[in-house]
């Protein structure tokens, strides 16, 4: 099977200048996700989709491929992820005659992946040919609401909202940025997630950290130093 990892890395970061190549634990931010993908022996190619020459150079330095520069119309502030993934898969097919079977989406700003989670996701989709997508999710026991037509409505209202936390059925938050493996046929339809799915529960204590601002980078660096002190950094895909 042809299994590729796709790491989108747009150059025009607003909240934190040159965010994707800012240093975290002594390496560019993008390097941690590249190296995590390369650790997975089931992934054949690690591809960074970027519109920026400097990001492309750093990505190549850490072992990723940058076979194209992403078109400007797919590198805008409001560009969703799905057409970026679709462009990558179709570009490889059209320009290299390389037919992807499974694409693994990885968001480089989500760095606190527990060790081996990417491989777990890929193994699960390979093991069950009926699946379209396998992604990571995180357990929560909070109560969720939405506002519709100026009225507050409780979500998952079949779950008793109050009482001992230990007895409350959990909800799960989708965290596809940590790892999301999808059959290429759905990626080419502009979908990140197909219809038949399974999931791997994220075991990271720091799943909530998504690095977009200077404060986020500082907090991530602080967490990493604390994990080092406790000899727990080895439990994460941080390099």
> Residue 13: inside a domain, yes or no?
yes
| CA atoms of 36 and 124, how far apart (whole Å) | 18
| CA atoms of 53 and 39, how far apart (whole Å) | 25
> Residue 115: inside a domain, yes or no?
yes
> Residue 168: inside a domain, yes or no?
no
165 pLDDT higher than 80: no
Condensed to tens digits (0 to 9), the pLDDT of residues 11-37 reads: 977 767 789 999 999 999 999 999 999
> Residue 91: inside a domain, yes or no?
yes
Task: Please give the residue range of the domain that contains residue 15.
Answer: 3-138+174-235
Which residue(s) pair with 103 in the sheet? 4, 182
What pTM was estimated for this model as a whole? Answer: 0.93
CATH number assigned to the domain comprising residue 20: 3.90.550.10
- Among the ranges given (7-21, 84-98, 105-119, 219-233), the one the predictor scored with the smallest mean pLDDT: 7-21
CB 200, CB 175: distance < 8 Å = no
> Residue 143: inside a domain, yes or no?
no
How many domains does the structure of the chain reveal?
A: 1
Average pLDDT for 113-142: 96
Q: Is the dihedral of CA 230, 172, 211, 49 positive or negative?
A: positive
Sole residue written with tokens 């690690």:
46
Residue 39, number of CB atoms within 10 A of its CB: 14
> Residue 155: inside a domain, yes or no?
no
Specify the pLDDT at position 32.
97
> Residue 131: inside a domain, yes or no?
yes
Spell 148-179 as b/e; 16+ CB within 10 A means b. Answer: eeeeeeeeeeeeeeeeeeeeeeebeeebbbbb
> Residue 92: inside a domain, yes or no?
yes
Condensed to tens digits (0 to 9), the pLDDT of residues 37-76 reads: 999 999 999 999 999 999 999 999 999 999 999 999 999 9
């Amino acid at each position: 099977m042809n299994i590729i990892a796709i790491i989108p890395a747009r150059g025009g970061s607003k909240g934190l200048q040159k965010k994707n190549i800012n240093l975290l634990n002594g390496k560019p931010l993008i390097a941690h996700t590249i190296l995590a993908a390369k650790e997975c022996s089931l992934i054949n190619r690690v591809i960074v989709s970027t519109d920026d020459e400097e990001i492309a150079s750093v990505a190549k330095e850490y072992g990723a491929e940058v076979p194209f520069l992403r078109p400007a119309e797919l590198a805008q502030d409001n560009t969703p992820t799905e057409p970026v993934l679709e462009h990558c898969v179709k570009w490889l097919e059209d320009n290299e005659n390389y037919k992807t079977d499974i694409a693994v989406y990885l968001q480089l700003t989500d760095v606190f992946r527990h060790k081996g989670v990417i491989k777990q996701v890929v193994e699960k989709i390979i093991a069950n040919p009926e699946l379209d997508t396998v992604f990571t999710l995180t357990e929560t026991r909070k109560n969720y609401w939405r506002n519709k037509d100026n009225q507050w409505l409780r979500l998952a209202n079949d779950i008793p909202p109050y009482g001992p936390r230990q007895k409350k059925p959990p909800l799960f938050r989708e965290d596809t940025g940590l790892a999301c493996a999808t059959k290429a046929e759905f990626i080419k339809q502009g979908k990140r997630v197909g219809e038949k799915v399974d999931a791997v529960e994220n075991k990271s204590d720091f799943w909530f950290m998504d690095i977009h601002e200077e404060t986020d980078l500082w907090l991530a660096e602080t967490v990493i130093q604390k994990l080092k002190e406790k000899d727990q950094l080895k439990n994460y895909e941080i390099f």
